[in-house]
Amino acid sequence: MDQATFIEQLAREGFQPPVLVEREALGSLEAHAHPFEAKALVIEGELRIRTATGERRYGAGEVFHLAAHEPHSEVFGAQGVRYLACRRPA
């Protein structure tokens, strides 16, 4: 998905404007959850997200979606990752 389409879609769905997130190469975030629904479009690099249903890899052009209060952990690729992240209050 391209950035313009992603931003238009989010506006229609009631998400707040996106912010750019940059994560370091081979970094990680331990299990955590957010009090909001989140959607993000990967711009560069890759990451893996583990939830109760398993682990999935996301690369450039792919969107990940997390429900509010959904526990998850993240592992960032060898080049790190850059993504546009948006929130929608629960």
Q: Within its chain, how far is the Cα of 83 from the centroid?
A: 7
For the domain made up of 3-89, the CATH class stated in words is: mainly beta
Element (H, E) at 10: helix 3-13
Six token digits for residue 54: 């398993």
Give 3-32 pLDDT, tens digit per residue: 999 999 999 999 999 999 999 999 999 999
Whether residue 31 contacts residue 70, with contact meaning beta carbons closer than 8 Å, is answered with no
pLDDT given at position 90:
80
Q: Which candidate, 11, 33, 22, places its Cα nearest to that of 86? A: 11
The ranges assigned to domains in the chain are 3-89
The per-residue DSSP string of 25-69 comes to: TT-EEEEE--SEEEEEEEEEEEEEEEETTEEEEEETT-EEEE-TT
Global pTM exceeds 0.85: yes
pLDDT tens for residues 57-71?
Answer: 999 999 999 999 999
